[in-house]
Amino acid sequence: MAKRKTKFVCQECGYETAKWLGKCPGCNNWNSFVEETEITGKQSRHTFSGLSSSGSKPEKITSIESQDEPRITTNLNELNRVLGGGVVPGSLVLIGGDPGIGKSTLLLQVSSQLAKKQLPVLYISGEESTRQTKLRADRLGVSSDLLYVLSETNLLTITNHIDQLKPSLVIIDSIQTIYREEVTSAPGSVSQVRECTSELMRIAKTSGIPIFIVGHVTKEGAIAGPRLLEHMVDTVLYFEGERHHTYRILRGVKNRFGSTNEMGIFEMKEEGLREVLNPSEIFLEERSQGTAGSTVVASMEGTRPVLVEIQALVSPSSFGNPRRMATGIDHNRVSLLMAVLEKRVGLMLQNQDAYIKVAGGVKLDEPAIDLATAVSIASSFRDISTRPDDIFIGEVGLTGEIRRVSRIEQRVQEAAKLGFKRVICPQNNLEGWTIPKDIQVIGVRTIQEALDLGVPR
């Protein structure tokens, strides 16, 4: 006979224990354990044997035919770029983001675009009724006979509708509201999310229907539930941006069918999301001219170069322990660059407060932004502004050397396209490519040489 077994599962990391604990040993979160019931015995063994007897057998990799399945492209080129060229048939895509950031708006627009291409789309909302979804669709101008809306949370009913309709795309909004009757825990728990995602993955792989899943995020910004959810899906996308600002950034953190460094930029309008074709102009449109502490760097986001302004404010500290704050850049990297400036250049920054920010809400994590960050700190400390038509590119080592970066040619071409006249980059990057006209490229070997060019005394 099947037996019921009680266990406690951490809702943050999925750690299981036989008794309730105040602090999770796996993720160190407090009060995250929830009691769940697991059915064991003959039923679980029968389920396991059913999965193992599916009739599949190993095949030689040389005998498997490779087929290039055409991707489903949307009218949003920014979304196609982040996905690696379009939606892959049979893929499972997870989209996360803060509440109200625009996840449902984006997916409803994509549904309308594919429906207008004569591709049936099934939009399943577990948080809104069909009338509420219709109100949002009217605001966005979404209307098509091939766009089907379903308000349902029972996974078995959802599966039956997918089998009957056989759509070209399925959207689940959101996975935390879907439940399986066989699992006794509440919707949104670790067991429910894991089992429902596993069933949706089976549907996607066996039928070839791509499925988009919306996931809630925690206050730290990570996908709610265990990390297992991100491991099960094919692609994980994060929708970032401030709710009170109009710009949204769609970033891929996992993609089995494309690059994980791509970034798509959208602007939230009253009629929905509109893609931004030239993000460099937007990030630099409000830049102050002749102000100390401001520099521009050409950062690579996947295959696209983006010019971003880095701002620094350095002021004398009123306390014994100076403050170091960074927005859009790793805090540890700022401390490292300030130590290099103090040791190799002689800037007395140990009694200075430092505040670093990347304008536009972008997060930069590549080494090529080191030189621009260091120059902006030195510019604010010396109260000397850099030239408004200068670009700084390079990685800064602990000994003060400027190391080479990747794709220098694309970075320089983007700078020349936007009217910048001078690029200061590593000396080792000057070979093997043709410098564009109307722009000067200067190679430097040390951080001191870069400061002599950018912020001379």
pLDDT digits (tens, 9 = 90+) for 183-214: 878 888 888 888 899 999 999 999 999 999 99
240 shares its domain with 334: no
Return d(Cα 253, Cα 342) in angstroms, integer: 35
Return the structure tokens found at 82: 């982040």
Q: Which domain holds residue 338?
A: 281-454
Binding annotation: 97-104
Task: Give the pLDDT band (50/70/90) at residue 63.
Answer: confident
Q: Is the pLDDT of residue 2 over 60?
A: no
User: Which pLDDT score is estimated for 3?
Assistant: 67
Report helix, strand and coil shares of the chain as percent, to nearest 5.
Answer: 30, 30, 40
Compute the average pLDDT of residues 93-101. 88
Residue predicted with more confidence, 224 or 180: 180
In a domain, 53, yes or no: no
144 shares its domain with 230: yes
260 shares its domain with 297: no
Checking DSSP bridges between strand 33-40 and strand 3-10, what pairing results, if any? antiparallel
| Closest C-alpha to 422, from 454, 444, 447, 389 | 389
In a domain, 410, yes or no: yes
272 shares its domain with 338: no
Q: Which residues pair with 214 in a beta bridge?
A: 95, 173
128 shares its domain with 218: yes
Return the structure tokens found at 14: 């999925």
Burial class for 409, CB neighbours closer than 10 Å (0-12, 13-18, 19+):
middle
For 399-454, the pLDDT digits (tens) are: 999 999 999 999 999 999 999 999 999 999 998 899 988 899 999 999 999 999 99
The torsion angles phi and psi of 416, rounded to 5 degrees, stand at -65, -35
User: Which pLDDT score is estimated for 222?
Assistant: 60
CB atoms closer than 10 angstroms to residue 439:
18
395 shares its domain with 433: yes
For 266-304, the pLDDT digits (tens) are: 988 888 899 988 888 888 888 888 889 999 999 998 778
Residue predicted with more confidence, 364 or 66: 364
Binding annotation for ATP: 97-104
| Closest C-alpha to 267, from 282, 284, 248, 241 | 248
| H helices, E strands: number in the chain | 12, 21
195 shares its domain with 300: no
Name the strand (E) or helix (H) holding 374.
Answer: helix 370-382
* Helix extents (H) in 215-330: 228-232, 279-284
Q: Into how many domains does the chain fold?
A: 3
301 shares its domain with 270: no
Average the pLDDT over each of 236-240, 292-296, 336-340, 350-354 and give the range with the smallest value: 236-240
User: Which pLDDT score is estimated for 47?
Assistant: 41
In a domain, 415, yes or no: yes
Strand intervals (E) in 126-261: 147-150, 169-173, 211-215, 235-240, 247-255
